[in-house]
Amino acid sequence: MGSVILCIMPTYPHQLFTAPAFAIDAEMVRSFLELRLAESFTIDYKRNTDSVADTVAAMANTYGGIVLIGVDNDPKDQNLPGPLSGVKPSDKDRLVNKMVTVFDPPGWCPDVIPVTIDEKTLLVVRIDPDTVPRPLLYSGAARVRMDGRNGAADRRLLQLLFQQGADESAVMPGIDPRCPPDQHLAPHHRPTYMQAPPDVVIRASAARQLRRDGVRRRLRGNTIDALTSALSDRQGLPFGVRKSLPPALTALAMRAVPGERLGSWEVDPHHGSSRFVRISAGHGSLSEPPTKTGVRVECAVELTGGETGFAVHFDVLYWLGGERLAGELWVQTAFDAVAALTRRALPSLTKELTGTSEVATPPVELHIASGWPDHRPLSNSLSIEMLGERTGTAELRRGSEYLPEELVGVDDLKGATREALHNIALDWRFLHPQFPEIHG
């Protein structure tokens, strides 16, 4: 019991954990089963609904998770999924009715989604711990989830559950990707960019909590090299080989400044440690940034929360020489930054720090801001004609918005980026923006 830590969510291994309920279908469940994931803190397989309520209550009081009903255990390994047994379609209503009445406080129920695979009905029970009225009691006891089994909370854990119900902030992780470009890690805070700050910074940020397993993590050379390789035109290149920007980011730079040579990825020699690293590529170098026009791409990684998590910030920096950044270019840049973060940087870092990249994408936030220390208005740097008529008069200083998790979960990054930009435009008081087509 002493190993259970209620405030840390394990990294999730599949989009089944995060996709909206309406998007969960047979193909998604089939792909989950094909991973052959063992029963754990967040996964359980049940032949029928007999003991589901106990497992749901235990997961609800700890990390949340997925219970797949209608799946036998593997005869050779009881912790692995085996043949599909299926359940009756009417079992869904019976299970829901039971859970809303037997739990204390009554009324709470997780998602229960029926799917049909090979003509057999399975029930996907998904427990989101953020929705649980903790402590959730079942048969008069607070159940907690251990590694593949359930148990009763002892006095210490019961006290923590009550604390969590009264003050969620006291026990939730302190990682938050909200980190606008003109604050923490801002370009103008670095000596290299003080004399010539970028006119526009477009940033995609995310943070991931790691398991508290007693390992003291560090950003080792292999981790940095894997990140650089993942963000390169050819992945898997060995250490010491020149690594260039991938095609999408190269195209951005060439559209902004045609004909200028692009530098390869390099590690910032002035700001770094075993807990922080920044890599950069594009026009100029970390010692001599662009003076008039140019584009640089940067990725900064920071271990956080006593090294039990990490935050990653992917920036595209524009020096415009007094011109405005075309609307279709900054919209495309927003998407390419999000794509580089979610499809390249995050999987690489997650695999290096957790041992697997098969995890759901954490919340991603998009930022648009000036890189100047005096927070120059974005209307001086961005073409905004496509946003239409504006109802407000205040200066456009910056924009920040989380991407819709349901769209990121199904890898609709174009739709997610467009939705985030639409909300940023609304914050700027443009009610009917007309964004151009996003490519990629």
Rounded (10°) CA dihedral 302, 306, 308, 314: -10
Q: From residue 110, how far is each of 96, 126, 294, 339 by CA, in Å?
A: 8, 6, 51, 31
Average pLDDT of span 212-223: 71
- Boundary (domain end) residue, out of 170, 200, 226: 170
On the question of pLDDT at 72 being above 80, the answer is yes
Number of domains in the chain: 2
Average pLDDT of span 254-276: 86
On the question of pLDDT at 375 being above 90, the answer is no
Do residues 208 and 342 share a domain? yes
What pLDDT is recorded for position 296? 94
Average pLDDT of span 14-23: 83
Between residues 47 and 144, which one has the greater pLDDT? 47
DSSP-assigned beta bridge partners for residue 135: none
Q: What is the pLDDT of residues 281-304, one digit of tens each?
A: 999 877 777 878 999 999 999 887
Domain that holds residue 162: 15-170
What pLDDT is recorded for position 1? 35
Q: What is the pLDDT of residues 112-130, one digit of tens each?
A: 999 999 999 999 999 988 7
List the CATH number of the domain containing 136: 3.30.950.30
What pLDDT is recorded for position 211? 61
On the question of pLDDT at 90 being above 70, the answer is yes
Report how far apart the first and last C-alpha atoms of the chain are (Å, whole number): 48
DSSP-assigned beta bridge partners for residue 367: 203, 400
- Distance CA(217)–CA(221), nearest Å, equals 12
* CB contact at 8 A, 199 and 319: yes
What pLDDT is recorded for position 4? 38
Do residues 214 and 120 share a domain? no
Do residues 363 and 222 share a domain? yes
The enclosing H or E element of 309 equals strand 309-320
The share of the chain scoring above pLDDT 70, in percent, equals 85
What pLDDT is recorded for position 152? 82
On the question of pLDDT at 189 being above 80, the answer is no
179, part of any domain: no
Between residues 232 and 392, which one has the greater pLDDT? 232
What pLDDT is recorded for position 112? 95
pLDDT-derived band at 6, boundaries 50, 70, 90: very low
Rounded (10°) CA dihedral 207, 209, 215, 217: 0
On the question of pLDDT at 192 being above 90, the answer is no
On the question of pLDDT at 142 being above 60, the answer is yes
Question: What DSSP character marks residue 341?
Answer: I
On the question of pLDDT at 176 being above 50, the answer is no
DSSP-assigned beta bridge partners for residue 281: 297
| Average model confidence (pLDDT) across the chain | 84
138, part of any domain: yes
262, part of any domain: yes
What pLDDT is recorded for position 170? 30
290, part of any domain: yes
Do residues 237 and 357 share a domain? yes
